[in-house]
Each structure stands twice: as C-alpha cells, then as structure tokens.
A and B are shown apart, each in its own frame.
Chain A
C-alpha cells in the first residue's frame, strides 16, 4: 500500500481497486466487528485442540475433551431407555387386551408401536399396513392367522413358517405339481373359486365337487377360510396373491408360501405388545 489515493469528491481514501474508472472507497469496518472476527479465529483454534478435528493417515486427532458423536448417541439412547424403562416394564407385564382397554396405555403403545412398525415391519407390510402382493394387508378385515389381539401378538412373536418351534405352520399341497389333480380339475376349481369370491358360485358346477373334496377341509365348505391353519378366506375380493383365474391356477398347481420371522427372537416383549396394539389399531382387527 505504497500510494494512498484520495477520492476528490468525498476526500476519503480509496482502496486502490478500480473497475472501469469506478474506484472503491475505503470504508473501514467497526472495531467490534473486526475483533469478533479475530475471536472467531481464536475460537476455531480452541476447537481444534478440544474436539476431533484434523485427519491423519491412520485416523484423526481426538481432541482433549475426547468427544465423539457415537458416544453421545450411545449415552442418549441409554438415557432414553431409562426414561422409557418404567412404561416398557409395565407393558411387558400387562396382557395385550388389558393394554388395549386402558386408554392411556393404548395411546402410548400405539405411538411407540408406530415407530417399531416403521422400523421393522413396513419393509414388507408397507407404511400403515397397506400390504403388497404376497404380504398381507393389515389395515383390512381379513386376517389369515386371526385378527384378535392375542392372535396378532402370537403371529408377531413367533412368525409364520420359520424355524421357531412355536411359529405358525400350514402348508397347501402342490395339487398340480404332485399330480393330485388333473389340469382340467384345477381349471374347474379355479373357476369355482373365482365364482365364490364374487358370490356367484354354482353348487352344480364341475369345480364345486373338486372343491368339496380337496379344498373345503381347510378353506371351509363355502370358502370362509380357517385362521387356525392359515387357510385364507376365498369368498371375498381380498387376495394375498392375485385373484385372477391364471393366478389361482398357478397357486393351486404349486402354491407360494410366504414366511415371517419370529420377532420375539429380535424384539423384547414390550415392543411385541406395542406392535400388536398398533397393528390392531390400523383397522380394528377382527
């Protein structure tokens, strides 16, 4: 800054910067502003010393305070567990029906269960239990394994068709693949099931006899289903897999069997009960 130039209009010094004949006046900053700037620089140095800051080849500088976001998260989670401890303990002790009957416990269980459901269940059953092909809808009134609170809790805790000793078991024979029925019989019974679902079934139809002989034992005479065996109702418009004749033929020929993990192996008793209450609140169960 060897040459100091003064603007001839204002008498103020210029910074020496010039663009197309326009010169910038030197308007100094207030002192406090400059000092705040210096304090910020000093603050950042203190931050490097106290907190993790600089990467090195093998890791990073840990800082004198030994702070770590992971440790903070762990501490927060432990604190949360402590705060929730009493309620969680209470839920684990209570019967699901008693939880549901108590308005305060119910609203707590629904709120907590929503989080657990979104984390663990919504990947298959979708948000709000909307369901998808092969993954039952939990918001409607058809319950393959039963829609009471106890049924729901049982299904969540032990799952469906898994290695757990208490899991729900139930298997439909491969009527086509194992040559139990002929192609003509399968076609006829598929027609009958489509008619059942529409309420237009004809007892004299060829498929009706096949149904009575092979299917009614599990699915019921009128196709009303049997939750104890996990045999879905066939007399309504709700389908786990699709309800077209082609889809039914495929299912009768070589059935698909979905499975569900036993959540008691992963979640605690309190969370399972929260989930049962939440799932029941999605549509009111059955």
Chain B
C-alpha cells in the first residue's frame, strides 16, 4: 500500500480532490512520552483492564441453586446479577436509571474537567493505548515506525509486523473471552469452550467481541472517536468558559519559532515549534489550534511540552489544564480562580442525586412478589347453566425470592363472586384459594371467577384479587374487571 505522507495535523487534511471518492486517511504515529499524565493514563488503563478481566471471577453467595458469580447477565435464565442485586426482565427500568446516571455523570465530569472519560476511562482509549504499547515494543518509537513503514518489505519488517498483529490478535481473543464471561459462569467457561461439545454460540460471541477489539483498537483507533462516537460531536455543548480543558497558552506561546542558538525569547513567544505536542497526540491533532473535536483530553501533549520547557529553561505549563476565563485573566496578568461550583455543575449534581436516590429507594424497597392479572379475551365472559356469569383470568405470581412461598388468593369486589382454579380448586367456587409458587419462578394459574348476574353492574364490574403471603401476612390488592352481558 502506498504510504501517505505524514502530516502534522488532521486540520491540514482538508485538501480534497474530485478524482477521489474518499479522504485519504493519515496514519498517526504517536511518540512515546513521559510525565505525570502519561503515568496517570497508564495506571488508569491497568486498573480498568484488571477490572474488565477479573471482575467476572468475583464470587457472591446467593444460596443453593443460584449462580454465585458477583456480576452476571444470565440471558437464558432471564436474570441479571450485581452483587446483592438481582434484576428480573420486568425490572429493566433499573438499567434505564443506570444509563441516565452514566450519561449525566459524563456531562458532569465533562463540564468540570473536559473529556476525562475519553482520555482515560473509555475502553476504546484503554485498548488503543494497550495496542500502541504492543506496537512500540515490536516496531520501536515514532521515527522508527515511520521509517520502517516507508522501507520495502524485508524479513525484519515482516517479522516485526507479524509479532505486532499476532500479539494484538491474542489480546483480542482474551478480550473476547473476558467479556463473554459476564454472560456465562466464568468458572464453567473452560468446559463450554474446550469441552467435548464446544458451544459454537460462545465462540461466535468471542469472535465478534475479539474481532471488534482487533479492528477498533488496532486499525480504526482515533477514527472511532472522530467518526463513530457521537460524543465528540456534542462535547462543545458540555463545556463552558469555566471548564478546565487541555489548553495551549497562545498569548504566551505566540509568535512561535524555532529555538535559536542564543536562546533569547525577546520579542517572541515561548513556543519553540518543536511539534512534540503534535507527535505524541494519539489523535494526531495540533492542540495549538485551540480546543477541537478530535481532542480526547488525554493531556499527553502537556507532558510533552513540559519536558521541552524544562530543557529550554522556561516555566512549565505552556500547554496546561485551564479554563477559558482563566486564560483571559492570565494573559492580562490578573488573578485566576478555579470555579467548580457553577449553576451547570450544581444542576448536574442535583439530577445525579435525584436519579441515584430514586434508584436506591427503588432497590431497597423492591417488591419480592409481583403479580400480573390478564383477563381472558376470548371468550370475554360465559353464561353458565345456573344463570351466573363466569370470567377467566390468567393469574401470574412472580416469586422473586429464593424460597418456596405459599400464598392465599381472595376474590373481592362482587358480593356473590367465587372462583375455581384449574388443577388447584375445581368444582364449587370458593372465595379463597391457597396457591404455592416454587422459589425464583413465575407461577401461572388459570383462575375462573363466577358471579350471579344480579350482582353485576352491567358490561363491566370492578373486581379485586387480594393476594396474601401466608408466611409474612402481607397482602397486596390487584384491581381488575369483570365482564358481563349488557343489562
């Protein structure tokens, strides 16, 4: 493949030609850098990778018959487990709450410190960083990689490329397995994958997840952030003049120029135009052009610039984490201040507290019995030989605890109403029927309620089912309706 010339900035890649259907992708060769933010990014990545891969092995005792994996999404069993929380599909609104918390949390952090998530915590960043590390181990740093990519293919180059991709694929495979473990008992997975009858379904998901990892972290990289992820497109709405962002101090740096032998900075800015900030950037941009969509806020350019400033004997912080307001004050020699408490951030905290509080309240008061009553639709009602009217109901009891429970069902609201339950109580209708539901299952009962025609209001009469948990004595009333002929 013909190599495109290395350019310094995506911004320069605006040249288009009618002869081509697409914009040539400019390969980015990020340079290794040392410093505070590089260390933070490495630590964050290491911690997150450890969580990704080790979390499925955490155990949590839920008693006999229940999975003991702390974090598990059991799709065939229709349950999701998170430590002490067990969610049924009917309670998927907790997931909605979690997504709202995640979104508002993202906005909150962005309004304070910019795209911390993008630069440090997003799995795209974590895996891209890991893949870049592998690339550097096999193919050397920026200059060596550029030189090698331009050189013709030889044995050395082929071996280094092969090593890189083999390691990437190995990591991708591990990632595929690692993330599949959240959906299957991690302790049994070896059996499922390599046992006598390997399950192709698990391998398919491993291939999808692993393939995505290889493609997105190895090849697509910054293009995911720029073209695929919606967040870069609306980040501007999250920032304001007090948000702390990765910033180039143009008032101090300009006019830029190469370092002269006499090291005099009289009449010119502090930027020596060494382009180190550009060379270390994982998305290949020039931060000196100001805040831009492609910037993921990883601050590696700050580390790079600080190193250069130390060498040329100038104060650090030509590229720094600062707000627009502070930059204006600084350039005018006025005092600066960091404003974290602002209307925007306060509102975010309030929303986070409200949603979080509602979730905690909901989870701590979570009902352990849920009931669904479905009135049969065909027939709506049946006249019986003694002149009374009968309605059918499908009565479902969700026993959401891990022990068998005994319930007592009472029908109320219509004076002469009695019920029969298929398989439990047939024959003469009764007003009370006992029913048992085994642990952690849905008990389905076919309930028929019959009532004298004279006790009905007309086409619809309100009817109540009162379900009592016999052990705790707690009762819940479920309102439904009773259909009858027009009077």
- Interface flags, B367-409, vs A, CB<8A=1, else 0: 0000000001111001111110010100000000000000000
Contact A284 B426 (CB under 8 A): yes
Which residues of chain B have C-beta atoms less than 8 A from A237's C-beta? 383, 385, 387
Interface assignment of B422: CB less than 8 Å from any CB of chain A: yes
The count of chain A contact residues (Cβ–Cβ below 8 Å) is 39
Question: Which one, B22-30, B241-249, B462-470, is touching chain A?
Answer: B22-30
Interface assignment of B20: CB less than 8 Å from any CB of chain A: yes
Instruction: Name the residue of chain A whose CB is nearest to the CB of B14.
Output: A12
Interface assignment of B480: CB less than 8 Å from any CB of chain A: no
Contact B385 A141 (CB under 8 A): yes
Which residues of chain B have C-beta atoms less than 8 A from A11's C-beta? 14
Interface assignment of B88: CB less than 8 Å from any CB of chain A: no
Q: How far is the CB of B394 from chain A (nearest CB, A)?
A: 11
**Secondary structure at chain B's binding surface: helix, strand, loop or mixed?**
loop
Contact B22 A30 (CB under 8 A): yes
Please report which residues of chain A, range 1-34, place their CB below 8 angstroms from some CB of chain B when the two chains form the complex.
1, 4, 11-13, 15, 26-34
What is the CA–CA distance of A29 and B378 in the complex, to the nearest angstrom? 56
Contact A126 B23 (CB under 8 A): no
Contact B386 A236 (CB under 8 A): yes
Q: Given A12-B14, A139-B392, check contact A28 B387 (CB 8 Å).
A: no
- Interface flags, B424-435, vs A, CB<8A=1, else 0: 001100000000
- Interface flags, B23-42, vs A, CB<8A=1, else 0: 11100000000000000000
Which residues of chain B have C-beta atoms less than 8 A from A238's C-beta? 383-385
Contact B446 A281 (CB under 8 A): yes
Which residues of chain B have C-beta atoms less than 8 A from A233's C-beta? 385
Question: Which one, A49-57, A72-80, A100-108, A161-169, is touching chain B?
Answer: A100-108
Interface assignment of B333: CB less than 8 Å from any CB of chain A: no
Interface assignment of A129: CB less than 8 Å from any CB of chain B: yes
* Most chain B beta-carbon neighbours within 10 Å: one of A30, A139, A284: A284
Q: Pick the contact of A30: B14, B223, B426 (CB < 8 A).
A: B223
Contact B385 A236 (CB under 8 A): yes
What is the CA–CA distance of A281 and B17 in the complex, to the nearest angstrom? 74
Q: Given A100-B423, A128-B379, A130-B378, check contact A32 B16 (CB 8 Å).
A: no
Which residues of chain B have C-beta atoms less than 8 A from A236's C-beta? 385-387
What is the CA–CA distance of A106 and B423 in the complex, to the nearest angstrom? 8
What is the CA–CA distance of A29 and B16 in the complex, to the nearest angstrom? 10
Q: Given A33-B22, A137-B382, A140-B382, check contact A284 B420 (CB 8 Å).
A: yes
* Most chain A beta-carbon neighbours within 10 Å: one of B24, B385, B444: B385
Which residues of chain A have C-beta atoms less than 8 A from B22's C-beta? 28-31, 33-34
Contact B25 A30 (CB under 8 A): yes
Q: How far is the CB of A112 from chain B (nearest CB, A)?
A: 15
Interface assignment of A283: CB less than 8 Å from any CB of chain B: yes
Please report which residues of chain A, range 258-286, place their CB below 8 angstroms from some CB of chain B when the two chains form the complex.
281-284
Contact B379 A103 (CB under 8 A): no
Contact A142 B385 (CB under 8 A): yes
* A-B pairs with beta carbons under 8 Å apart, 20 shown: A1-B19, A4-B18, A13-B16, A28-B16, A29-B22, A31-B23, A33-B22, A34-B21, A127-B378, A128-B379, A130-B378, A130-B379, A137-B379, A139-B390, A141-B385, A142-B385, A233-B385, A281-B422, A281-B423, A284-B420
